[in-house]
Structure 1
Amino acid sequence: MIELHQLLMFMAAGWLLNLTPGPDVFYMLSHAARQGWRAGLVASAGITAGCMVHVTAAALGVGALLAASATAFSVLKWLGAAYLLWMGVQMLRSKNNSKLMAPADNAPGLTETGSSLARIFWGGFWTNVLNPKVAIFFLAFIPQFIAADYAHKSLAFAALGLLFNLNAIPVNMLWVWMGAGMARRAGWLCKRLHWLDRTAGAMFIGFGLKLALTDKPGA
């Protein structure tokens, strides 16, 4: 299906792409910085689950539909933009959440409740799923590593998509570690969490506006 040097190139490209800041990265960073490593890991898990939806859909042909249909792309684009804008507004309106953070001498995030972690997971999931650019990315990126004469292209697509998501885990852990490190090492952050919320909120609004203004690829 794929030679070793192509596989290594695929993995290296995946690492570089996952190091590029975007809505998913800021989602992980903001939760890890505000609520500790556990919240960051849950955010990462939600985003990974969202990516698997895109991979499965693209392998089944839904990604091709999004690429070919302006209507389908527009519907998902506006849903995704609305969700990112909604998240940004909620962050801008949030109050100081320093009570959610553990004391500096304890491991951050240990006081998270199951319900709040579930909200973080599903927030990351929908942030990823409602972004049609992710679906188009998988549809454009992965086929480059599948031989044209390979008989089981859907199976190969799914396998490479799974590898891409597994390959992203170390990078996501790095982002979470960086975010949690901010919470541990910067004591002033606990007193200024509302500014972190507002910064992240402004970023999400920016991503939402950028997505809303995105034309269908190839249009």
Structure 2
Amino acid sequence: MTLATALLFCIVALAAIATPGPTMLLALSNGSRVGVRRALPGMAGAMLSDFVLVGAVALGLGALLAASEFWFGVLKWVGAAYLAWIGLRMLRSAGGIDVAALPAAQHGTPVQIFGKSFLVAVTNPKGYLFCSALLPQFIDPAAAQAPQYLVLAFLFAGLDLAMMLVYAFVGARAVRLLRGRAMRWLDRTCGALLLALAGSLAFYRRGGTTA
């Protein structure tokens, strides 16, 4: 893999990552609730899912999901249900409280924050299909493929982390500026968007369209 190929991959991947999706919305919400530093476990969970997605594509799972209606449906409905559950919890959030005055444990332990972000990302079939369509275009078939996929995984995870830091910082900044009301509206907005994404995922077809 050449430097030019890696740079081109970063440009394409960044354009996709920067689009507000479930992972970025969770980073925004976590940043508003617990601050950027305490939101880092969630970012670590999302980054781990990046390695899982790239590894799955390297092993052919992306192609399997594209070919199998059954397994695609299983992953799709699990992901949609989990997104809807998180969205509903955010919509029902009481909000309007002083975030700084509450113990971090009341917002979720680091393990819980990590697991939520990881599960949201790893159960999204769109990620597998996207990576299975994108990554092979940057792989040199004449060279060893495993090291190339590993490089792409690190690049993808690094870009993901950078964007999540931006979203978490925006969330944390909004709470500082708007005080207690900010968390209520951020939670409800993120919750509504996650529900919309869950609905979109439920009607998502393998060909990249909705039913």
Deviation, 1:128, is 0.3
Deviation, 1:38, is 2.4
CA distance in 1, matches of 2:182, 2:4: 47
Number of matched pairs:
208
SS in 2 for 1:181: helix
My pick for the range that moved more, 14-23 or 79-88, is 14-23
Taking the TM superposition and a 5 Å limit, the aligned residue runs for 1:18-167 are 18-96=17-95, 98-99=97-98, 101-102=99-100, 111-113=103-105, 116-150=109-143, 152-167=144-159
- What letter is aligned with 1:161? A
Deviations, residues 118-154 of structure 1 (Å, cap 9, x unaligned):
211111010001101111111111111112333x324
Identity %: 36
Distance 1:182 1:135, change over 3 A: same
Q: Which runs of 5+ in 2 are unaligned?
A: none
8 Å CA contact 1:88–1:205 kept in 2: the answer is yes
8 Å CA contact 2:50–2:156 kept in 1: the answer is no
Taking structure 2 as the reference length, the TM-score comes to 0.89
**Counterpart residue number, 1:215:** 205
Deviation, 1:67, is 1.6
Deviation, 1:180, is 1.3
**Counterpart residue number, 2:163:** 171
8 Å CA contact 1:55–1:162 kept in 2: the answer is no
Q: Which runs of 5+ in 1 are unaligned?
A: 104-108
8 Å CA contact 1:81–1:212 kept in 2: the answer is yes
Deviation, 1:205, is 0.6
CA distance in 2, matches of 1:180, 1:171: 14
CA distance in 1, matches of 2:136, 2:157: 16
Pair 1:205-2:195 in alignment: yes
RMSD over aligned CA atoms reads 2.2
Taking structure 1 as the reference length, the TM-score comes to 0.86
**Counterpart residue number, 1:180:** 172
8 Å CA contact 1:92–1:201 kept in 2: the answer is yes
**Counterpart residue number, 2:16:** 17
Structure 1 runs (4+) deviating above 6 angstroms are: none
CA distance in 2, matches of 1:203, 1:90: 12
